[in-house]
């Protein structure tokens, strides 16, 4: 991650650093969010939380501590927002689904 946090003042280097930062945000080739479109195609709302906000592989930490860093269109349509707590997104998704079932 150190390379992702590096910065320089000259314009050319800043662009390269931004590209590195983008890759680090979701992984190389956006691997960390690569399944969001597949969920969308199946009609499933999906989101990811930042690894900086929750422990990787820990569902309780994801729910309690996580902040949404990416989502698909369906999750956004149900009220999801980048930066919101994962627990709030879950509450919105449940409320939207309950509304659909009525």
Maximum average pLDDT range among 11-20, 25-34, 84-93: 84-93
Q: Once rounded to an integer, what is the mean pLDDT over residues 54-83? A: 91
**The Cα angle at residue 64 between residues 47 and 96, in degrees rounded to 5:** 50
Per-domain boundaries in the chain: 1-33, 35-102
pLDDT tens digits, 36-66 = 899 899 888 999 888 888 888 888 999 999 9
Query: How would you class 68 by CB atoms within 10 Å of its CB: exposed for 0-12, middle for 13-18, buried for 19 or more?
Result: buried
The model's pTM: 0.71
């Amino acid at each position: 991650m150190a390379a992702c946090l590096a910065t320089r003042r000259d314009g050319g280097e800043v662009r390269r650093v931004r590209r590195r930062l983008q890759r680090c945000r979701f992984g190389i080739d956006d691997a960390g969010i690569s399944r969001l479109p597949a969920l969308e195609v199946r009609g499933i709302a999906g989101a990811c939380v930042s690894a900086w906000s929750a422990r990787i592989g820990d569902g309780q930490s994801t729910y309690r501590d996580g902040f949404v860093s990416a989502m698909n269109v369906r999750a956004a349509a149900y009220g999801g927002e980048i930066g919101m707590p994962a627990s709030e997104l879950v509450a919105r998704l449940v409320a939207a689904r309950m509304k659909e079932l009525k």
